[in-house]
């Protein structure tokens, strides 16, 4: 099937190229960091080459097949979705512009369509990618800052069943922020990929091999 380029999007990002390539492979963040766009992901295969998954689309409450293939050397990746119109491809390529900055260019390729429809679709893709990259940039900047300051990880103290519990407020998965995540019945859920931890024991509740770091309750916490 012929594909037509309907638009493109270029974006400087305040995070390293390494973070951006990590983000491209990170399928699990889609329904969490981009909850207004995606509401589920079911991955069938993943590796350093990319991933294949079924994703739920929040707005239409429907599902599409998604395949992402990454060429790390060239910092280029393509994501393909298959829906009622056929296969669309979104090509992304990035360059480092500094140790903590890069720029990505995204091009939208869709099955042949009328010019006016193509223009509208191109503009709506560009708006969508603006929003997705706002969300990704906040995550990547937060992760880069947390990686640079592991010694300064903040401690959070919460009360569960009348007992204070103290833990490091960075998720043991990829250092997601746990400073403000709600604690409900002693369970905290990370906003980046949804991992859940029991703050009383640090145990992960999703069968993941990571553990929330508990620390002694600071002595200056009022009883």
Binding site residues, ligand FES, CB under 6 A: 171, 173-174, 176, 190, 192-193, 195
Q: Which is nearer to ligand FES, 13 or 140 (CB)?
A: 140
For 124, phi and psi rounded to 5 degrees?
-75, -35
Cβ neighbours for 126, distance < 8 A, ≥ 6 positions apart: 7, 8, 9, 108
Q: Which is nearer to ligand FES, 100 or 193 (CB)?
A: 193
- Residues 91-120 as b or e (16 or more Cβ within 10 Å = b): bbebeeeeebebbbebbbbbeeeeeeebee
Shortest CB 188 distance to ligand FES, Å: 10
Q: Pick from Fe ion, ligand FES, none: which does 136 bind, CB < 5 to 8 A by kind?
A: Fe ion
Whether 68 and 78 have beta carbons less than 8 Å apart is answered as yes
Whether 32 and 173 have beta carbons less than 8 Å apart is answered as no
Q: Which is nearer to ligand FES, 43 or 118 (CB)?
A: 43
Shortest CB 171 distance to ligand FES, Å: 3
Q: What is the DSSP letter of 119?
A: H
- The residue within the footprint of Fe ion, chosen from 28, 136, 144, 198 (CB under 5 A), is 136
Which residue of this chain has its Cβ atom nearest to Fe ion in the complex? Answer: 136
Q: Pick from ligand FES, Fe ion, none: which does 173 bind, CB < 5 to 8 A by kind?
A: ligand FES
Shortest CB 159 distance to Fe ion, Å: 34
Q: What is the DSSP letter of 29?
A: G
Shortest CB 129 distance to Fe ion, Å: 10
Q: Which is nearer to Fe ion, 104 or 212 (CB)?
A: 104
Q: From start to end of 14-120, where are the E strands? A: 38-47, 50-57, 62-71, 76-83, 86-98, 101-111
Give the residues lining the site for Fe ion (CB under 5 A): 136
């Amino acid at each position: 099937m012929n594909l037509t380029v309907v638009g493109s999007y270029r974006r400087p990002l305040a995070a390293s190229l390494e973070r951006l390539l990590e983000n491209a492979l990170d399928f699990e963040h889609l329904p969490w960091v981009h909850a207004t766009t995606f509401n589920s992901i079911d991955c069938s295969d993943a590796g350093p080459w990319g991933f294949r998954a079924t994703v739920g689309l929040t707005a239409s409450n429907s599902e599409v097949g998604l395949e992402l293939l990454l060429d790390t050397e060239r910092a280029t990746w393509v994501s393909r979705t298959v829906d009622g119109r056929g296969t669309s491809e979104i090509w992304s390529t990035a360059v480092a512009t500094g140790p903590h900055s890069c720029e990505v260019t995204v091009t939208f390729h869709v099955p042949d369509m009328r010019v006016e429809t193509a223009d509208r679709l191109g503009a709506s893709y560009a708006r969508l990618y603006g929003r997705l990259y706002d969300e990704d940039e906040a995550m990547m900047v937060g992760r880069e800052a947390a990686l640079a300051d592991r010694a300064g990880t903040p401690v959070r103290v919460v009360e569960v069943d009348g007992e204070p519990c103290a833990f490091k407020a960075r998720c043991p998965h990829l250092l997601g922020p746990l400073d403000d995540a709600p604690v409900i019945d002693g369970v905290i859920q990370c906003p980046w990929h949804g991992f859940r931890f029991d703050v009383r024991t640090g145990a992960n509740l999703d069968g993941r091999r990571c553990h929330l770091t508990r620390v002694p309750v600071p002595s200056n916490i009022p009883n």
